[in-house]
């Protein structure tokens, strides 16, 4: 985890927990509180109470609630981006790599549901300049999907009528929505969801003759039959 810009220098020592250990604990609790109460409903007092600290003690680590949200969002984005960049760099043609990225992205979101929800729900709570700082330039996250679609089109693997920018927005928008209805132990596993979404996306983009004629396989249902929440 990077050194947060909004954190104050820790004074003193004694028998207190090491600063980085306490920061990691603060980070985890803040993420949970933002998830449970939303940014507007959460307060530094809520976070301090759950940590068993006085509210004033938080200022050893953070300057404001906004700074704390910024650090949570930045770390969620950093981890997610690192995940898809690594997946996109693996061997294979652009469509194969796009499939891997979609599957891995869904799995990462579902495995980090609390942080994902905070990130996708609370981005608008930050000023635009801080949002841009997190997302990076032309949205580094979306650029991974855009690059793969563009390369696939250049190689003749993606249909000529596909607009890469619109396609990347559509892919990321539909895949990101999974967090709204996925529940651990529900009807489908993250892998099943990721594979099904990936097959649908790749088949919708692929040029004629690039892929086998078979339609995307229907995922097998698990034992539980809980319907997705709307």
Residue 2 has pLDDT above 50, yes or no: no
pLDDT at 13: 43
Please name each of the domains of the chain with its CATH number. 70-205 (1.10.357.10)
Residue 160 has pLDDT above 50, yes or no: yes
> Rounded to two decimals, what is the model's pTM?
0.80
pLDDT at 20: 78
Residue 5 has pLDDT above 90, yes or no: no
The answer to whether the CB of 122 falls within 8 A of the CB of 38 is: yes
């Amino acid at each position: 985890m990077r050194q947060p810009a909004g954190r104050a220098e820790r004074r003193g020592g004694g028998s207190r927990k090491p600063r980085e250990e306490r920061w990691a604990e603060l980070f985890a609790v803040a993420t949970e509180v933002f998830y449970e109460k939303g940014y507007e409903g959460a307060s530094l007092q809520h976070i301090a109470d759950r940590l068993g600290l006085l509210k004033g003690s938080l200022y050893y680590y953070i300057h404001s609630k906004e700074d704390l949200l910024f650090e949570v969002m930045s770390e969620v984005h950093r981890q997610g981006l690192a995940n898809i960049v690594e997946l996109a760099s693996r061997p294979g043609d652009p469509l194969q790599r796009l499939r891997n990225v979609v599957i891995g992205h869904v799995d990462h979101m579902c495995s980090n549901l609390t942080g994902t929800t905070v990130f996708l729900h609370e981005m608008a709570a930050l000023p635009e300049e801080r949002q841009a700082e997190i997302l990076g330039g032309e949205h580094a996250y979306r650029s991974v999907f855009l690059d793969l679609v563009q390369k696939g089109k250049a190689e003749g693997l993606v249909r000529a009528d596909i607009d890469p920018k619109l396609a990347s927005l559509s892919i990321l928008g539909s895949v990101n929505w999974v967090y709204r209805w996925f529940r651990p132990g529900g009807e489908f596993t993250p892998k099943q969801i990721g594979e099904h979404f990936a097959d649908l996306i790749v088949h919708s983009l692929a040029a004629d003759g690039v892929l086998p004629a078979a339609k995307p396989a229907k995922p097998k249902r698990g034992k539980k039959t809980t319907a997705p929440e709307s």
